[in-house]
Amino acid sequence: MRLEQTFTNFLLHHQEKYRRTYNFLILMDALISAAKHIEHYYLTGALKGNLGFSGDVNIHGEDVMQMDQIAQEITIHYLRASGRVIHAISEESDEIVPINTEDGRYFVYFDPLDGSSNVQHTLPVGFLFGIAKRNLEGIEDGHLRAGKEYMASGMFVIPTGTFTLALKDAGTWRFHIDETMEFVRPTRIIIPENTEEWELSFNSSNRLTFAEKVQNWIKQNEPNYAFRYLGSLAADFHRLLSNGGMFMYPAIVNHPDPKKNRPQGKLRLMYEAAVVAYMCQEAGGSAVDETGTQILEIQPKDPHQRTALYAGSKQLVDDIAKVLAHSQ
């Protein structure tokens, strides 16, 4: 018989060690409850007819899926029930969502079901979140925090029963769900330095639309690494954390149809790129945008701001950052 340390026990010790309150535990309990419910709806989605489109279009002009709405409703319910959240920013809501504006302590930035092209096939998607704390010493200075001000970030890869959490200055940790539906076995993740298993992960069908310097970097470097791409940030990044290498979603600047260019990048800064960058940093890696700027340093101006993303092993990210920072 192998008995494991539970996530709750791990976090209780963590809070005690750093002399922190248990408020964060209450918030994490809410996020875990939400993730378990989303996972349940996702697993049974094909049978229940929940994997299609809802008929609505979101603020980004994308067709909303039924599962997006289900996941949003579930997450807001548990965040509200926690009593610990001031405001939330979600991919599924144009406006900042007020939750407990008087007594809330945390800001939560989340995408409850990321990786929509996988949904119809019940293949892996992600529930990504970042957490920042209210300014308890003075007047609150706003909801749009740069990644470096997050206190934690994490992702559930649904429906795989895995959960990864990065804690400020305390590492990136992975947990697995057990037969009693508890997340257990805290395992510290350090991106491996051994280059043998490193992977490059990007949408290769976009490669001719990238900036020339990015295309050249890819040509020079791709023969050295395996290529993997599932099309779901959490799932692709999950592999990357274990194997090393680099995940990229570069800016699209050379599309034959200029209307399809995305010079700002595709991924959302606050609840995708910064979440991943934070986990990366706590695992010994790094993440930059199209100018080679550290993702965690970018001060968002808009809750749904987009960015290009290059995230993974420090050596590779530093290498491409030099190319990106150098004007053509």
Q: Return residues touching ligand FDP (CB under 6 A).
A: 114-117, 203, 231-233, 236, 266-267, 272
Cα dist from 317 to 154, 199, 281, 288, whole Å: 21, 13, 12, 7
For residue 318, the SS3 value is: helix
Q: Which is nearer to ligand FDP, 195 or 204 (CB)?
A: 204
Distance CA 74, CA 229 (A): 29
Q: How far is the CB of 194 from ligand FDP (least distance, A)?
A: 25
- As a dihedral over the C-alpha atoms of residue 161, residue 181, residue 128, residue 68, rounded to 10 degrees, the angle is 90
Q: How far is the CB of 110 from ligand FDP (least distance, A)?
A: 12
Q: How far is the CB of 281 from ligand FDP (least distance, A)?
A: 19
The radius of gyration of the chain's CA atoms, rounded to the nearest angstrom, is 19
For residue 280 the two structure tokens come to 């990366």
Q: Which is nearer to ligand FDP, 172 or 209 (CB)?
A: 209
Q: Which is nearer to ligand FDP, 26 or 64 (CB)?
A: 64
Q: Which is nearer to ligand FDP, 8 or 116 (CB)?
A: 116
DSSP 143-163: S---GGGEEEEEEEEETTTEE
Phi-psi region of 280 (alpha: psi -120 to 50; beta: other; left: phi over 0): alpha
Nearest to 159 by CA among 39, 318, 76, 26: 39
Q: How far is the CB of 93 from ligand FDP (least distance, A)?
A: 15
Q: Which is nearer to ligand FDP, 116 or 221 (CB)?
A: 116
Q: Which is nearer to ligand FDP, 29 or 39 (CB)?
A: 39
Q: How far is the CB of 69 from ligand FDP (least distance, A)?
A: 14
Q: Which is nearer to ligand FDP, 148 or 255 (CB)?
A: 255
Q: How far is the CB of 252 from ligand FDP (least distance, A)?
A: 9
Distance CA 17, CA 27 (A): 18
For residue 208 the two structure tokens come to 């001719």
Q: How far is the CB of 170 from ligand FDP (least distance, A)?
A: 26
